[in-house]
């Protein structure tokens, strides 16, 4: 069993990496985060920037164009990006914790060479599981894959697919045998531009507005047997295992968001004066900030713990669910508490506080709602004990 470093201890390599991502986010993303939010889309230069910095293929081997780094470093990158803009963070999150992890775990050597090479060097990936009738009930899929010749015809719709607007490669979950239930679900690789595949609309959202969340439509899309990721009927395994890792990514996103909200409030209360003194001199304000800082640090430790367990090859399902649940809870609470410290200006769009609060709301919803996380934790406790 490999020795785990203390959770808050970073290696020199991890510290340099974190600081590099933080500097990038401050210098390049902060000036455009507000405009992208208002426009509801990423600026075209953002995705190329992420690839240039090596943030879109963190665990992809260097021989295939990636950074050849660890899952924990993906978590550091997501946290630092979310500290400035959660929309950009989720682009990086889905790419690394879901799409790349799925290909690394379940792809054949030929698939890994082809797809990881693309994903590490310029192609954005998307993870197409959700449908109108399958959210928390993730495997109630209506999307069908019908055998034809040496392949399949894919028909159906997917909703709320992150990165849909930018992706060139999609992992699409469909049922090949409805009578088999979850054992009929299969994961297919579909490339943008395939005949019969269209992206008719992008959602207009409350938060993470610059991140594209799209509907996908498949009408007799031909997929070959070589485009099956994992094995026929094993799509549920692909989904379950990658979503466990994805939960840690969302936890990191929420930690970074809460950290950004807290830092903004800290700066504001040391500048703003009321009743002849700085807001930071009022005990009630100081105690509110202290509670927020405690929440953020606790969420960070939960997230780092789950990521370290993952990299050590140890079980992490319960810890991932705990991190995701807690981090999404505190992100919304901290963002709301910090907004109130700004007073009236915090409720206006000229202040970044309201964006942090809007962006935080999705944390309790995607990649497993808070209810699903609590159920996962409870099942683990009942079957394995504390």
Which tokens hold the place of 243? Answer: 């979503």
Tens place of pLDDT for every residue, the chain, 386 residues? 345 545 668 999 999 999 999 999 999 999 999 999 999 999 999 999 999 999 999 999 999 989 999 999 999 999 999 999 999 999 999 999 999 999 999 999 999 999 999 999 999 999 999 999 987 887 889 999 999 999 999 999 999 999 999 999 999 999 999 899 999 999 999 999 999 999 999 999 999 999 999 999 999 999 999 999 999 999 999 999 999 999 999 999 999 999 999 999 999 999 999 999 999 999 999 999 999 999 999 999 999 999 999 999 999 999 999 999 999 999 999 999 999 999 999 999 999 999 999 999 999 999 999 999 999 999 999 999 88
Confidence at residue 9, expressed as pLDDT on a 0 to 100 scale: 84
Q: Where along the chain do its domains lie?
A: 12-123, 126-233, 236-384
**Dihedral-angle region of residue 368 (phi above 0 means left; psi in -120 to 50 means alpha; beta otherwise):** left
DSSP calls for 248-285: HHHHHHHHHHHHHHHHHHHHHHTT-EETTEEGGGSHHH
- CA–CA gap between residue 386 and residue 219 (Å, rounded): 48
The predicted pLDDT at position 263 comes to 98
User: Which helix H or strand E contains 223, and what residues bound it?
Assistant: strand 213-224
CA 38 to mean position of chain CA atoms: 21
Contact 26, 322 (CB under 8 A): no
Nearest Cα neighbor of 351 from 285, 265, 259 is: 265
Measure the CA–CA gap between 102 and 194, rounded to whole angstroms.
21
Polymer length of the chain: 386
Range 12-123: architecture per CATH: Orthogonal Bundle (1.10)
Q: Which of 79, 131, 329, 367 is catalytic?
A: 367
The C-alpha torsion from 198 through 86 and 207 to 364, rounded to 10°, is 100
Q: What is the CATH number of domain 126-233?
A: 2.40.110.10
Beta bridge partners of 216: 158
Residue 220: its H or E element: strand 213-224
State whether residue 142 is helix, strand or coil: coil
- Note if 367 is an active site residue: yes
Q: What are phi and psi of 186, to 5 degrees?
A: -135, 145
Interacting residues of 183 by C-beta distance below 8 A, sequence separation 6+: 177, 233, 236
Phi then psi for residue 282, to 5 deg, are -80, 130
How far is it, in rounded angstroms, from Cα 352 to Cα 24?
19
C-beta separation of 70 from 59 below 8 A:
yes
> How far, in Å, CA of 30 to CA of 24, rounded?
9
Taking the C-alpha atoms of residue 5 and residue 2, their distance in angstroms, rounded to an integer, is: 10
The DSSP code sequence of 289-344 is HHHHHHHHHHHHHHHHHHHHHHHTT---HHHHHHHHHHHHHHHHHHHHHHHHHTGG
Rounded distance between C-alpha atoms, residue 355 and residue 308, angstroms: 30
Rounded (to 5) percent helix, strand, coil in the chain:
55, 15, 30
Element (H, E) at 229: strand 228-229
For tokens 């993952």, name the residue.
Answer: 310
Give the CATH number of domain 236-384: 1.20.140.10
Q: Is 256 in contact with 266 (CB distance < 8 Å)?
A: no
**pLDDT for the residue 200:** 96
In whole angstroms, how far apart are CA 380 and each of 87, 138, 167, 308, 385?
Answer: 32, 19, 35, 19, 7
Pick from 14, 4, 107: nearest CA to 69: 14
Within 13 Å, how many C-alpha atoms sit on residue 87's CB side? 29
* CA atoms of 375 and 349, how far apart (whole Å): 37
φ/ψ (deg, to 5) at 4: -95, 130
Residues 55, 124 contacting (CB under 8 angstroms) = no
pTM summary value: 0.96
Report whether 166 contacts 124 (CB < 8 A).
Answer: yes
């Amino acid at each position: 069993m490999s020795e785990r470093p203390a959770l808050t201890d970073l290696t020199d390599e991890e510290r340099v990496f974190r600081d590099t991502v933080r500097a990038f986010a401050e210098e390049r993303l902060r000036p455009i985060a507000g405009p992208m939010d208002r426009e509801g889309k990423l600026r075209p230069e953002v995705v190329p920037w992420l690839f240039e910095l090596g943030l879109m293929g963190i665990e992809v081997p260097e021989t295939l164009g990636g950074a050849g780094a660890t899952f924990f470093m993906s978590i550091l990158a997501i946290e630092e990006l979310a500290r400035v803009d959660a929309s950009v963070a989720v682009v990086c999150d889905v790419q690394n914790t879901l799409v790349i992890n799925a290909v690394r775990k379940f792809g054949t050597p030929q698939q890994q060479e082809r797809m990881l090479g693309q994903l590490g060097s310029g192609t954005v990936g998307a993870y197409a599981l959700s449908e109108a009738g399958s959210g928390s009930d993730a495997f109630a899929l209506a999307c069908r894959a019908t055998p034809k010749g040496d392949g399949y015809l894919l028909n159906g719709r997917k909703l709320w697919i992150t990165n849909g607007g930018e992706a060139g490669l999609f992992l699409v979950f469909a049922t090949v045998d409805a009578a088999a239930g979850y054992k009929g679900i299969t994961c297919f690789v579909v490339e943008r531009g395939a005949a019969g595949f269209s992206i008719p609309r992008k959602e207009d959202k409350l938060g993470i507005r610059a991140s594209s969340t799209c509907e996908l439509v498949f009408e007799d899309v031909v997929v070959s047997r070589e485009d099956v990721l994992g094995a026929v009927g094993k799509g549920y395994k692909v989904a379950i295992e990658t979503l466990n890792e994805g939960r840690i990514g969302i936890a990191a996103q929420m930690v970074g968001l809460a950290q950004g909200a807290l830092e903004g409030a800290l700066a504001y209360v040391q500048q703003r004066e009321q009743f002849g003194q700085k807001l930071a001199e009022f005990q009630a304000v100081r105690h509110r900030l202290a509670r927020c800082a405690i929440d953020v640090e606790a969420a960070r430790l939960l997230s780092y713990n789950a990521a370290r367990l993952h990299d050590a090859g140890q079980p992490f399902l319960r810890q991932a669910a705990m991190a995701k649940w807690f981090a999404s809870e505190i992100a919304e609470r901290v963002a709301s508490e910090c907004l109130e410290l700004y007073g009236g200006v915090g409720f206006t769009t000229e202040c970044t506080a309201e964006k942090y609060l809007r962006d935080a709301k999705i944390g309790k919803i995607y990649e497993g709602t808070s209810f699903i996380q609590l159920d996962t934790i409870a099942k683990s406790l009942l079957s394995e004990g504390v």
